Every structure is written in structure tokens, then in C-alpha cells.
Amino acid sequence: MASNKGGVTFALIIVLLVSVAFGYVLTSPTGGGLTYSNSPTKYTQYINLGADAAGWEYNYNTSDRNPVLNVQLSTLVYFNVTEEDGAPHNLYVAYDGSYSSTLFAKLVSDQKNNPKSIEGSNNYKVLSTSQITQTIGHKTQGKFPFVGSKMAGIYTYWCSVHYTTMVGLLIVNATSGSTSVVTPNVANGATPSHVNNQSTYSTSVSNVLLALETALKTVE
Amino acid sequence: MSTIDLLILASVVGSLVAILVFAVYYLTASKAESLSLTAKEEGYTDSNAYWREQLYGKPRPLTWSIFTYDDAKSIGLRYIFTSVVFLFIAGAFGVLMRVSLFDPNPVIIQPIIYNILMTQHATLMIYMFAIGAALGFGYYLLPTQLRLKRDNMGHWSSVAYWLWVLGGALFVLSRSSMRWYLYPPLSLQLTPTGAGTFNWLAIIAMELIFIGITMASIIVLKVIFIDRSDDITLSKMPIFAWSVVFTLIMLLSSDEPLMVGLGMLFYDFFNPVFFTGATSTPLTFAVLFWFWGHPIVYIAVIPYFGLMYDIITRFTKTPVYSYFSGVFSLGLLMILSELVWGHHLLNSGLGIDWVLFFTSASFVVVIPSALTIFNMIGTLWKAEKIRLTTPMMFVINAILDFIIGGVLGVMLANQSVNEVAHGTYFVTGHFHFIFVGLTLGVTMAVFYLLYPTFSNGRVYDERLAKWHLYITAFGSLLMSFSWTVGGYLGMPRSVAGYFAQFQPYQDSAIIGGVIIGIGQLVFLYNIAKSWLAQPTTDPYNILEYRTETNQEIGGGE
């Protein structure tokens, strides 16, 4: 560099590094994440969950653990979470994919063992640990709007502190004309319908579907 | 891309990287061996000590050997040129951000990319450019200005340098979008829409940068206080040395809270107990951050004040108007900068008593700043003749920009103004006046001054350098001024879009930003072109050498 080419070398190094840095940063992943949308929603739905390290409870202090939650597309969902055991909890939601039986089966069979494998990094934190305070009985509310053309499908919700136990599925149904394999079609979007499938969780998909259908009939 | 394609690509890239790494290792190892053989012939067991003595006090041009020697000047050259590289990377990010705001809606680049660019621009500019250049000038100029008795911590300096570079590179690789504040809970969200999937890497990178600059600061302070020549008493040191002393004491006394905070933040990735848990708030981190975050913005200013004093005395051939008040005001800046951190959190709910304290303390900062500026103006006033060379004009531009930016800063630190202006481009305008005008401008001034030494006796093209100055000064003024006016009208900063009513301010800022970018390309072209010529002068510069006369001029009278 001591020769005449020193300045040129330096300039070339700068040009090279700037281009590499440019290319690297501009090709950053941008899609996939769950973003909070401010588009108007059609429905509102309240889901009451109890935060217990043994599992999410449907309503406060029940043994109804880790329910499959059904939500209609274009619904603003309010999660009312009540602290039950004084341990730190939070609530994440992540998109797993559109309806497909294989994915659903994978979710149901793998979820308990390795929830991290399907969560990926595309999650949204509905409630943080500091919002769900560790005061037993403290009730707090978080919300997420499932609105947009690509929002229908299967979601996971979980607590990142107790992800092996506190993890469940949330299914967002397209409004109509869905040709998907797993379509628990909830007619009344405003009504929270849920299936307590704790017993069928680790068995098979068909049981889950059966349970879903039963629940739907009850609702209808 | 299929798995097989991916494997083939990974093997090819991996092999190329391995070959490159081996080549670099081979070259450095064989160079080190030949150096140690030469040292052994001279009767030295430590080859580095031999070469440090051989290189001591001589003009040190830029060669690849700066990476194999670890004398203070080689370390200084590494810091200076690495920081210029990062200046260009971060500056290119900044220009791209500007251009992307051509449309009120984020259509040119996506908001996620914009956030990444913004984080990288801010962090690299502050940690890799401003601090790097300040440390570099300290390492490069002080050994000759203070005629060191010994130069014996080269290994440590080298380690500090590599940690700092590694931190900077990892920070770019992390593609973090958490902004330079690193606030949780955003920095804990490892998603593309949060802080970036690899934000944990950014936290590690920041910690590496901190370890690097802390080590280097301790060494430079040791150089100034212990190693300087016996006949240079404290009161005879150039003001630049004093400014480095104050800067580094400030750095060392305020970076520990954030280093600890970064460690706690890293724990929070696993189980959020420190900042987002039930018993704490993210404000805890904000306080830890700004306890360091305010001093750091002075670190980007105070050493450059010292350089401005030195450059002014060289080109006016006049002693500093008041050496004591110059040093005293820099010291006062150091103390006050540790007390005003809360003015970055005026709207965070600190309470009215704290807010009153921080607002008043921020107003007191006017005193040392004005002392410094009046001291410089007084020096210029007393001069019989001012040589308006490019470095001198950069310094005069820096004084102007600092006055504008400083006044805007004092306005901003006032709670009543802050309530309407915080989070707007007013803030961006305020600190870009100072950072572009002063930090960038003085770095360029010193770079031009040292160019004959860097290039072993070549001279830069004066005409191109003047153009560099004019373009940069005009672009900076246009960009920051548009931001300031638009910001006062409520234009929110740090977002990928804006309301169409702010189009005129954004558009003029875009023009200003692009103009600054063009100015730096002129600089790069000037460096490359002038280096191609044959050496026409001696490799000495007026900032380092003729220190005896400069002591008389610059030091106590």
C-alpha cells in the first residue's frame, strides 16, 4: 500500500465493503412475521384464559387445559388472562401455516415435545411477563386482530417461560368457501367456541377433528 | 434452492473463505517470523519491542504492515482507516434511508429494512466512526506530540482493536433493527418485525465493542499520564491531549452501567426477569442506557474540540486565546455531561423534580460550550493572518455548525419545548448539525492535514478538497435545516414513511443527504487520485511535528 496504488486500494476496499454491506442488509428477511394490523375488523371475541404453569386454562381455575381456540377471520380477539399460580407468564401467538392435514398432524404430535421447532421466529407477543404480573388473580388483557387475506390458518399460542406445558392451538377460519382439509367452520364468529381436547391431544388428528365437530354441534 | 445446490454453494464459499484465511495467516506468520529474525540479530528477545523502538517517532505512512506491527502509530492508523471504512458503510446506509423517503409511503424499501438501515447507521457512526476516529487520532498523534518515553502496551492495543472491529462486523451481520437505544422489550423480540432474528448477536457485538474501547481508553490514558516525556508537564500538553483525557475519563466512568445492562439484557433473552419482568420496567434499562448515552454523544465532540484548537493554532500562528479556560471548559463539559442524561427521558415519567434538575443542568452546559467556542473565536480574532486552507475552513464550518446545533440542543433540553419536539426530526436535525459539521468535518480536516504522512509525501488536490468541503457543508446545512423546521412542525422521526404534508421538508432533506454523499465520493476520489502521483513533499505534518514550537504556541504561554 506504500506504493502509488495505496489510495486506489483503500478506495476499492471501501467500495467493496459498502457493496457487501448493502447487499447483506437489503436482502434481510422481511416477511413471515405476525404484524399488528390496524385494518377494521368485523367481529370481536373475548377469550378468557387462566395462566397456570401446568397449562393454559379455559376460563379461570378450571381443569380445561390448553384448549383449541376457534376464531373467525376478521375478528379482533381480546385475550383476558388471569394469573393463577404466581409464576411469570407471557402469551405469544405464531402463525404455523394454512390448513393442511399434515401440518396439523405434525403440530398435534410434535407440539408437546418440541414447540420451538414449529414456532419459528414469526411470533407476536400479545402479553409480556410484566403485563401478566405475578399477583395471583390479577387479570389483564391483550389483543390481536386476525384480519387480512392471509390470516386464516393454524396458529400456536404459548407462554415462552413454560413452553412445554402452556401451549395450544388457535384456528382462524376463513369466512366462506374454504376448501381446506381441516375446516372447523364456526358459523357464529362472535361466539367463542373451543374444544377441550387434552385427552385427545397426543393421540391422533382424527380425534381432534371429532372433538372439534362435537363442539361445533354443541355451539350450533 | 434445493438442498444439493445449497450444499454445493456452501462448500464453494466455505473453501474460498478457508483459502483466504489461510493466505492471510501464511502472510502474517511469515512476516512475523522474518521480523523476529531481524530482531534476534539485533539482540532482542521480543521482536515487537525492537520494532516499536525502531518505528518510534518516525512518520508512519499507510502500509499493510500496520497489521503486523503493534506500535502506537500502527494501531492509530488501523483505527483511523477502519473508522473511515465504517463511515462510508454507515453513510451509504444513511443516504439510502434518505432516498427511500422520496415517497411518503414506504414503497421503495420496506419498513423492516428501513429500521435495520437506521439502527446500523446510528450505531456504526457513533461506535465505529466517531469513537474509532477519536481513539485513532489519540494513538496516532499523541506519541509524537507528547514525545513518549516508552511504547509498551502494543499487544493490548492490538487486542482492543480487533475486539472493536469484530464487534462492528458482528453488528452489521446481526441485521439488528432495535435502534441504537437497545430498549427492551423491542430488543428482546427476536423476529423480523421486532428487533431482527439475530438480535442476540447484536447484543454480543455491542459488548465486544465496549470491551475494545474500554481497553483502548485505559491504554491511551496510561500513555498520556505515565509515558509522556518528562519535560512536558500537564500544563504544557496540547489541548488535544487534554480533550482526550477528559473524553476517556468520561467514557470509563459511564460505560460500565450499559455494559452491565447489556449483560442483563442477554439474560432476558432466556427468562425476562430484569427489564420486562413483573418487578422492573423497561425504564430501568433506559436509565442505564442514557447514563452512558449522553456522555457518548460528547465523546463524539470533545476530542474534536481539542483537534480544532490545535488546527486553529497551526493555521493562525497564534497561541490559544486562553489555554486555561480552554482546558477548564472541556473539563466542565466532562462533569456536566455525566449529570444531564435525564434530558433524554424528559417525557418518560421521571417526575417534575428530576425534570427541573435535568432541564437546568442542561442549560448550564451552555457555559463550557460557549467558553470553548468564544475561545476559538478569540484565537481567530487575535491572529494577524488566518491561512484559509481546507482543514482550517473545515474547522470554521464546524464552529458555525456547532453554534447552530448547540443552540437547538439547549432548546430541546427545555422540558416545555421537549414536550412538543421530542420524537420529531427536530432532534435529528439538532445532532446532525453537530455530527456532520463537527465530528465528520474535523475528522476530514485532520485526515487532510495528515495526508502527506499517510501517503508518504504526497499532497492532496486542493481544488477537489475545497469542493469536498463546500459540498459537505452545503448538504449538511440543507439536510439538517429541513429536518429542524419540519420537525418543529411535528414531522416524526425514525419512521419509514411520513404524512404528505411534510413532503417539502423531506424532499429538501433528501437532496441535502445525497449532496453529502456526493461530497464524500469526491473525498474518496481525491485520496485515490492524489496517491497515484509521485511524492512531492516530505512526510511531515504540522499537527504532529515541530512539537517544540507548537508547545510554545499551543500550550501555556
For residues B518 and B556, state if they share a domain: yes
Contact check, Cβ <8 Å, B81/A10:
yes
For residues B211 and B327, state if they share a domain: no
Q: Is the pLDDT of residue A185 over 80?
A: no
Strand, helix or coil at B541? Answer: coil
Number of CB atoms found within 10 A of residue B416's CB = 10
Contact check, Cβ <8 Å, B531/A4:
yes
- DSSP class of A49: E
- Separation between Cα atoms, residue B259 and residue B167, nearest integer Å: 14
For residues B199 and B344, state if they share a domain: no
Contact check, Cβ <8 Å, A17/B92:
no
Q: Which residue from A190, A168, A191 is spatially nearest to A68, judged by alpha carbons?
A: A168
Chain B residues near residue A25 by CB distance under 8 angstroms: 93, 113, 116-117, 120, 172, 175
Question: Is A71 a member of any domain?
Answer: yes
Q: Which domain holds residue A132?
A: 43-219
Question: Is A191 a member of any domain?
Answer: yes
Nearest to B277 among A21, A121, A129 (CB): A129
Rounded to 5 degrees, what are φ and ψ at A145? -90, 120
What is the chain B residue with the closest CA to A138?
B278
Locus of grid cell 443516504: B95
Q: Hey, of B65, B89, B190, which one would you mutate to test binding to chain A, going by the most A CBs within 10 A of its CB?
A: B89
Question: Is B221 a member of any domain?
Answer: yes
Nearest to A28 among B92, B112, B455 (CB): B112
Start-to-end Cα distance in chain A: 81
Q: Which residue from B230, B222, B145, B248 is spatially nearest to B554, judged by alpha carbons?
A: B145
Q: Which residues contact B163 (CB under 8 A, 6 or more apart)?
A: B208, B209, B211, B212, B215
Cell reading at B143: 506519541
Alpha-carbon distances of B74 from A5, A98, B63, B67, B516, rounded to whole Å: 19, 59, 9, 7, 30
Count CA atoms within 13 Å of residue A133 on its CB side.
9
Instruction: Dump strand ranges (E) for B283-414.
Output: none
For residues B438 and B463, state if they share a domain: yes
- Separation between Cα atoms, residue B175 and residue A120, nearest integer Å: 17
Supply the CATH number for residue A124's domain.
2.60.40.420
What is the pLDDT at residue A181? 35
Question: Is A5 a member of any domain?
Answer: no
- Separation between Cα atoms, residue B189 and residue B111, nearest integer Å: 16
What is the pLDDT at residue A169? 81
Start-to-end Cα distance in chain B: 72
What is the sign of the dihedral through the CA atoms of A148, A149, A150 and A154?
positive
What is the chain A residue with the closest CA to B60?
A2
Contact check, Cβ <8 Å, B85/A14:
yes
Task: List residues bridging with A68 in a β-sheet.
Answer: A195
Chain B residues near residue A4 by CB distance under 8 angstroms: 531-534
Chain A residues near residue B273 by CB distance under 8 angstroms: 88
Contact indicator for A220, A206 with CB cutoff of 8 Å: no
Contact indicator for B79, B133 with CB cutoff of 8 Å: yes
Peptide bond just before B185 cis, omega within 30 deg: yes
What is the pLDDT at residue A159? 86
Strand, helix or coil at A169? Answer: strand
Question: Is B198 a member of any domain?
Answer: yes
Question: Is B210 a member of any domain?
Answer: yes
For residues B174 and B288, state if they share a domain: yes
Chain A residues near residue B530 by CB distance under 8 angstroms: 7
How many residue pairs from chains A and B have C-beta atoms closer than 8 A? 121
Largest CA distance in chain B: 75
Residue A10 sits at the chain B interface (C-beta within 8 Å): yes
Question: Is B347 a member of any domain?
Answer: yes
How many domains is chain B built from? 2
Q: Hey, of B84, B87, B188, B193, which one would you mutate to test binding to chain A, going by the most A CBs within 10 A of its CB?
A: B193
CA angle, residues A6, A11, A15, in degrees to nearest 5: 150
Number of CB atoms found within 10 A of residue B435's CB = 23
Using left for φ > 0, alpha for ψ between -120 and 50, and beta otherwise, residue A61 falls in left
For residues B270 and B322, state if they share a domain: no
Contact indicator for A142, A90 with CB cutoff of 8 Å: no
Rounded average pLDDT over A80-102: 80
What is the chain A residue with the closest CA to B185?
A128
Q: For residue range B245-286, list pLDDT tens digits in order.
A: 999 999 999 999 999 999 999 988 887 788 887 777 888 899
Low-confidence spans in chain B with pLDDT less than 50:
547-557
Q: Which domain holds residue B379?
A: 301-557
Nearest to A32 among B62, B85, B192 (CB): B192
Contact check, Cβ <8 Å, A24/B175:
yes
Supply the CATH number for residue B350's domain.
1.20.210.10
Q: B299, B321, B350: which is the final residue of a domain?
A: B299
Q: Hey, of A85, A128, A133, which one would you mutate to test binding to chain B, going by the most B CBs within 10 A of its CB?
A: A128
Question: Is A172 a member of any domain?
Answer: yes
Q: For residue range A40-74, list pLDDT tens digits in order.
A: 888 888 888 999 888 888 887 777 788 888 888 88
For residues B106 and B215, state if they share a domain: yes
Chain A closest CA to B475's CA: distance in Å?
A: 21
For residues B255 and B367, state if they share a domain: no
Contact indicator for A86, A124 with CB cutoff of 8 Å: no
Chain B residues near residue A24 by CB distance under 8 angstroms: 172-173, 175
Contact check, Cβ <8 Å, B528/A8:
yes
Chain A residues near residue B281 by CB distance under 8 angstroms: 130
Q: Which residues contact B371 (CB under 8 A, 6 or more apart)?
A: B325, B326, B328, B329, B332
Question: Is B362 a member of any domain?
Answer: yes
- Separation between Cα atoms, residue B231 and residue B146, nearest integer Å: 9
Q: Is the pLDDT of residue A2 over 60?
A: no
Residue A6 sits at the chain B interface (C-beta within 8 Å): yes
Q: Hey, of A4, A13, A28, A81, which one would you mutate to test binding to chain B, going by the most B CBs within 10 A of its CB?
A: A28
Q: B266, B299, B332: which is the final residue of a domain?
A: B299
For residues B293 and B317, state if they share a domain: no
Contact check, Cβ <8 Å, A24/B64:
no
Q: B273, B299, B325: which is the final residue of a domain?
A: B299
Enclosing H/E stretch for B242: helix B239-270
How many domains is chain A built from? 1
Nearest to B197 among A13, A121, A135 (CB): A121
Q: For residue range A19-42, list pLDDT tens digits in order.
A: 999 888 888 876 556 777 777 888
Question: Is B251 a member of any domain?
Answer: yes
Count CA atoms within 13 Å of residue B390 on its CB side.
25
- Separation between Cα atoms, residue B433 and residue B424, nearest integer Å: 15
Rounded to 5 degrees, what are φ and ψ at A128? -95, 170
What is the pLDDT at residue A212? 60
For residues B267 and B314, state if they share a domain: no
Question: Is A115 a member of any domain?
Answer: yes
Nearest to A128 among B85, B110, B185 (CB): B185
For residues B253 and B364, state if they share a domain: no
Question: Is B4 a member of any domain?
Answer: no
Contact check, Cβ <8 Å, B117/A25:
yes
Residue A38 sits at the chain B interface (C-beta within 8 Å): no
Q: Hey, of B191, B197, B267, B273, which one would you mutate to test binding to chain A, going by the most A CBs within 10 A of its CB?
A: B191
Chain A residues near residue B194 by CB distance under 8 angstroms: 33
For residues B240 and B360, state if they share a domain: no
Chain B closest CA to A3's CA: distance in Å?
A: 8
Q: Which residue has the higher pLDDT, A123 or A81?
A: A81
What is the pLDDT at residue A206? 47
Contact check, Cβ <8 Å, A17/B281:
no
Q: Which residue has the higher pLDDT, A99 or B72?
A: B72
What is the pLDDT at residue A34? 72
* Burial of A149 (C-beta count, 10 Å sphere; 0-12/13-18/19+): exposed
